[in-house]
Structure 1
Amino acid sequence: MAETLSAPALPSVYRQLLDAIDIGIHVINHEGKSIIYNRKMSEIEDMEKEDVLHKNIMDIFLFNKEEESRLLQALNHGEVHHNAKQVYFNFKGQEITTINDTFPLIYEGKRIGAVEIAKDITRLERLTRENARDKQDARFTFDQIIGDSNAIREVVENARRATRTTSSVLISGETGTGKELFAQSIHNGSERASKPFISQNCAALPDSLIEGILFGSVKGAFTGAADHPGLFEQADGGTLMLDEINSLSAPLQAKLLRALQEKSIRRIGDTKNRSVDVRIIATINEDPAVSLEKNRLREDLYYRLSVVSILVPPLRQRKEDIPVLANHFVNKYNKRFQLNVPGIAKGVQQLFQEYDWPGNVRELEHMVEGAMNLIYYDERIDYTHLPVHVRNKFPSYNDISHAPEALVVPNAPPTKPLQEYMEEVEKVYIEQILKRHSGNVTQAADELGLSRQSLQYRLRKYRLNIRHS
């Protein structure tokens, strides 16, 4: 005989219902601690309920500050979000993408908690990004060009103006300055954004191949030739970026000039012209005057391409942008490598300001990436993580780490193991920094160069009874 559904049984019934529905539900109380976390939300975020329930949300997810959590926005400020996309990371460093409804819970006129109802679109987002990469579409926009210096702001402003027309653009700049980023941003900011963006490095292939790639071929034009549209036809209605245009031979530059002037191309082996509507953005990795002087660029082609001329400055001329660029790359590779590196040591920041960066922004990114391959989970990037050629150039920076003068180091008996002694030193130092900040974990973690989660781990490890803020 079936039992009657009674009031005492309702909590169990509610839990079963929450775990049965195919939508994620996460509820926090007035302290920001998780009190409801259903099965579906556990699947979406790839975390066990035990990892989440009764813990503060800032201890669970890799938020840099409370404002990044919509649950805390709802709890602390009453903010409501409907059908809003959110991208965040769990404590394992895994990227989660959801569509959420988030709102505060009100009882007797007071906010007593907050709830988030989530639909998982992580896999859909990943497939969308992969599909976009496969199509070689332009991914970058002006918003992704990093830097606050006057030098880069002026270039961005000039490039933005180029989005209003269909005129040819010549972007010059040293290797690694980000010329293609500007080319893609111009395309994405123009009326051609919905049409193809195709990029071709002219130095990557010999003339015998590049001509067929640019203009196409017809069957029988040469041994093994088939009817094949070239990049001009494939980019019709959109943008064709020609990288290192000065590496093309003079005859090919003449054919390119004719195609631009007549707005038509002729495939190899064909007898008819085909009309094309393509905007050309060309790039060159040296001063155009040098290319002209050394006959690496035809003068008539230069004037045809440089209707809009943009010069991207080298990194050594915009060094005030180095800190924000370096921080951007640290965050990028934290996500990619599932690390939690808090940043770059002050001594290395000083070294970066003295270095001349021959490889420009690309070299900076590769240097950060290389350092993060050598680093532990939550260390700052220091001198020992830098490439050998940089360390050899700046040997004096080997002594960039100094013990704090205020640190009281405990006496170490001769028989005490090094690891045990170092842990005692770490414990004493953490206690001093926490005391300085009146127990504020966030401020102490910032001074220590640790993430909040890493400091909290050490507090538990050393059983320090300090008030968490």
Structure 2
Amino acid sequence: MKSSVNQFSTQFEWILNVINVGVHIVNKDGDTVFYNKMMAHIDGLDREQVLGENIFQLYPSLTDESSTLHVALEKGIETIESIQTYVNLKEKKITSINSTYPLYEDGEIIGAVEIAKDITKVMSMYDQIVDLRSQLAETHKKNKFFEGTATYHFSDLIGSSPAFQEAISLAKKAARTHSPVMIYGPTGTGKELIAQSIHNVSAQRNQPFIAQNCAAVPKELMEGLLFGTTKGAFTGAMDRLGIFEQANGGTLFLDELNSLDLGLQAKLLRVLQEGEVRRVGGSKEQKINVKIIAAMNISPDEALERGIIRSDLFFRLNVVTIQMPSLLERKMDIPEIVNHFIQKFNKSFFSDVRGISQKAMQRLLQYSWPGNIRELGHAIELAFNVMDTGEVMIEEHHLPAYLFPSGKYSVSNAQSHHPPLKDKIDLPVVLEEMEREMIINMFEKYNGNISKTAEALNIKRQGLQYKLTKYGIEKVYAAGSKEPK
């Protein structure tokens, strides 16, 4: 029996060393008894120099109050997903999200375990974004001639199909009032362009336009980003404006609202109802006057049914609802949109492409465009990259291979299986298109199962989810599957 226990103990240690979160275990005196490889990577320390060392020797910047491990040992208090910034022995500043638990035996605390996720790079980017936005807000206050920060206008939006024109008409009406606006539609349909256009004809057009993707920031940082922070709110926190304060007097666009944590949704609702915001760790309420435009990439009915958006928040925001049609629903607009992209890329590529052949246009019209206008733009950009010097018409063989049912170009579609290349191409764009095609093919093969697709591509599930969003690959590819797993 004892050998069996020892055998499993070895297996458990192996498991803790291969998982992608840091694990740090200390005894009742605060001395390290286990420290896995990921924790060593996060801290930038060698495991050998850590084992047996006390937490305050390893992290001299921590105190009795700020060390979650010490608090667990002394008070038996669990700390769940707390942001902690500290300096290690090598004087490297590290930020992690920690969950810390006391360990008991016969009712007595015998140690503590900390599970950590490294967000040092994310926190650095977060700090830079917040600082930059704060500088822009200060610039706006000092310069009364500041023209705002939204660049798109209704005149930039292309399309004459009834569904698209209906969305534009409703958006223009929504710009006349201060009421909240909810925009929904598939990825790549231009929801932020509509939001910027609303701002640019509203009474707030000379005030800030702040856009925030709710899926782009870890939930632990999102509250501080939305509402601001007070020095000491958490270890390393500084006095900072949140995006509500930065957008005061203007427009705040919250994209992918359905990705916002439900707890934060409740706090967001309170801010909207009371018109006041309180910074994280603060005690004072700050009056704010912000027009809210929210967006979701799924229908409101689906979001409510799946319980990923609070009904009270939804109905508070759902004063004006604008549905953005997919490109599949407005295919009559494709020729006009393609012409727009040709003019755009002629300028950036210093080219003189004059149009697109009838066969190539027919190929575009036959495709379903799950990534919508964004995907169409990528397809035209790829064509510019593979066109030979002197060519002035986009032909079928210039288009991405995934537009063809077989996934390959036929002899009738091209002069050769490999389209001619320019003397100079934008390699990152070409590689992105190749990556996108491979993901689509594998996603279809595994019927939209994200875990199996990620495994087949030898990438992490989170990485695949990011790429699915980036390339506009939606669950329409999941043939035979109601929803990606």
Question: How does the TM-score come out when normalised to structure 2?
Answer: 0.54
What whole-Å deviation, never above 9, does each CA across 1:335-394 have from its counterpart, x for those lacking one? 011000111111011111111000000000010011101113433111111112223447
Pair 1:226 & 2:238 matched: yes
Matching residue of 2:349: 337
- Partners of 1:173 and 1:287 within 8 A in 2: yes
Q: Which amino acid aligns with 2:321?
A: S
* Structure 1 residues 359 and 295: CA distance shift in structure 2, 3 A: same
2:377 matches 1:371:
no
Amino acid at match of 1:309: T
Q: 2:272 aligned to 239, 260, 263, which one?
A: 260
Does 2:217 match 1:205? yes
Equivalent residue for 2:399, pick from 380, 386, 392: 386
1:277-314 Cα offsets, whole Å, 9 max, x none, are 00110000011100100001110111011100000000
> Deviations along 1:133-160, whole A, 9 cap, x unmatched?
x998100010110011111111111110
Gaps of 5+ in 1: 1-130, 403-469
Alignment of 1:249 onto 2:294: no
Conservation of the 8 A alpha-carbon contact between 1:136 and 1:198: no
Conservation of the 8 A alpha-carbon contact between 2:397 and 2:413: no
Sequence identity, in percent? 48
The residue aligned with 2:448 is none
Which aligned pairs between 1:31-430 and structure 2 lie closer than 5 A?
137-376=149-388, 377-393=390-406, 399=412
CA distance in 1, matches of 2:185, 2:411: 33
1:164 match: secondary structure: coil
Cα distance in structure 1, aligned partners of 2:312 and 2:152: 31
* Residue equivalent to 1:73: none
CA shift for structure 1 position 401: 7.6
Aligned residues: 271
Tell whether the 8 Å contact from 1:339 to 1:378 is kept in structure 2 after alignment: no
Alpha-carbon offset, residue 177 of structure 1: 0.3
Partner of 1:440 in structure 2? none
The 8 Å contact of residues 173 and 285 in structure 1, kept in 2 or not, is answered as: yes
Give the 3 Å change call, closer, same or farther, for CA 153–146 of structure 1 in structure 2: same
Counterpart in 1 of 2:30?
Answer: none
Distance in 1 (CA, whole Å) between partners of 2:409 and 2:402 is 14
Find the residue that maps to 1:185 and give its secondary structure. Answer: helix
Residue 342 of structure 1 contacts residue 378 of structure 1 at CA under 8 Å; is this kept in 2?
no
The alpha-carbon deviation at position 398 of structure 1 amounts to: 5.5
Cα root mean square deviation, aligned: 2.1
d(CA) in 2 for partners of 1:150 and 1:245? Answer: 27
Residues 365/323 of structure 1: CA separation in 2 closer, same or farther (3 Å cut) = same
1:383/1:397 contact within 8 Å kept: no
Structure 2 stretches of 5 or more lacking a match?
Answer: 1-138, 141-145, 416-485
- How far has the Cα of 1:395 moved from its partner? 6.1
**C-alpha displacement of 1:220:** 1.1
**Residues 221-258 of structure 1: CA deviation (Å, up to 9, x unaligned):** 11111110100000000000000000011110000000
User: Counterpart of 2:399 in structure 1: which amino acid?
Assistant: L
- Rounded to whole Å, the distance in 2 between the matches of 1:369 and 1:290 is 33
The alignment partner of 2:187 has SS state of coil
3-state SS, counterpart of residue 241 of structure 1: strand
Q: Give the counterpart letter for 1:380 in structure 2.
A: M
The answer (yes or no) to whether the contact 1:375–1:385 under 8 Å persists in 2 is: yes
Secondary structure of residue in 2 paired with 1:217: coil
Secondary structure of the residue aligned to 1:232 is: helix
Change (3 A) 1:393 1:185: farther
Aligned partner letter, 2:397: T
Point out the structure with max Rg over C-alpha.
Answer: 1
Aligned in 2, Cα 1:200/1:398: closer, same or farther, shift over 3 Å? farther
Q: Return the letter of the residue paired with 2:403.
A: V
Alpha-carbon contact 1:203-1:247 (below 8 Å) kept: yes
